[in-house]
Amino acid sequence: MKFPHIVRYFSVALLLMTFSELSSAEEIRTGVLRTPDSRFENLSGYNFQPHYLNISGFRVHYIDEGPSDGEVILMLHGEPSWSYLYRKMIPIFTEAGYRSIAPDLIGFGRSDKPIDMDVHTYQFHVDTQTALINELGLTNITFVGQDWGGLIGLRIVAENEAAFSRVAIANTGLPDPAADPIADDSAFMRWKRGNQVMIERGDIDTGRMLARNSGDPSVRVAYDAPFPDPSYKAGPLIMPQRVPVTPDYPGATENAAAWEVFKRWEKPFLTSFSDSDPITAPWLDRFLKEIPGAKNQPHSTIEGAGHFLQEQKGEEWAQLIVQFLQANPDH
């Protein structure tokens, strides 16, 4: 009569052992998690071959599509998204003959995920993405960025001018609070305060955020995929707090130095902001007024799109970028 109970006991014990082993396998070393590859299988519209580099001890994922000798378009995503965000744009670039590189920031997508928020500084992401560019030997780059992709990428462009030939941005900024203060009642500061509540709660609903903003419920699974549980979300949770909002904030001095570079930047510079993104809209004018390379370019407002315009108008933005590249050939 006791035998069935023994079977059940060992079955439960085996199950618990299995879960324990799976859990420990995801922590590749103390304080660093790696999302199981199975979570990225069968995502709608996403069939790109993964590529990896070791950067500062972290496995960093990137998409690399198109001809290996094509001019490089480097796309950086922001928070809380990942390279999946560019899936609608990459085929258009490939068809036009360009090589598309779209990394996942450390802490996002298929890249490794430090669980300590202190790792995720502005400088850390600038340094690790710069290292990826150097490791791949990329030159003659057209930089494409949105959200934190712009904050990080524009710093990299300014600090590595010779590697870049053009810039095309949307819904982003390069905050320089000493020269351009951020109002306390701005949409960004309201978002920052709301994000602090998420940090205190210990979670950010990445999938629902992207689904709601894009109006497409089907993308929720893809934006939840990198994060099996909240312990994986240190990067998405803390990044809004890393935006420099006062002159003494980490990153503010470096951003001011980057602006000095852009004030004399003569290379082609294109903006394509959405018509419905109040968070980044205040940052647009400075790009247009102060960057010489932005003069006489076909800047546009993409209608019917919110913050994550790659989801709603990705094809349209990609076509605008292709036209921009063709009108501004590298010499």
Q: Which residue numbers are catalytic?
A: 147, 277, 307
Let me know the angle formed at the C-alpha of 265 by 261 and 270, rounded to the nearest 5 degrees: 120
CA distances from 17 to 33, 86, 229 (A): 19, 39, 19
Q: For tokens 């930089």, what's the residue?
A: 143
**Which residues make Cβ contacts (< 8 Å) with residue 142, sequence separation at least 6?**
71, 72, 73, 74, 98, 164, 165, 166, 167, 168, 321, 325
Helix axes 206-214, 309-327, angle to 10 degrees: 70
Rounded to whole angstroms, the Cα distance separating 140 from 294 reads 18
Show Cβ contacts of residue 54 under 8 Å, excluding neighbours closer than 6 positions. Answer: 60
CA dihedral 273→276→277→282, nearest 10 degrees, is 70
φ, ψ for residue 57, nearest 5 deg: 85, 5
Q: Where are the alpha helices (DSSP H) in the chain?
A: 3-26, 90-95, 122-136, 148-159, 187-201, 206-214, 220-224, 234-238, 252-262, 284-290, 309-327
* Residue 62 phi, psi dihedral angles, 5° rounding: -150, 150
**CB neighbour list of residue 176: distance below 8 Å, 6 or more residues apart:** 244, 252, 255, 256, 259
CB neighbour list of residue 316: distance below 8 Å, 6 or more residues apart = 302
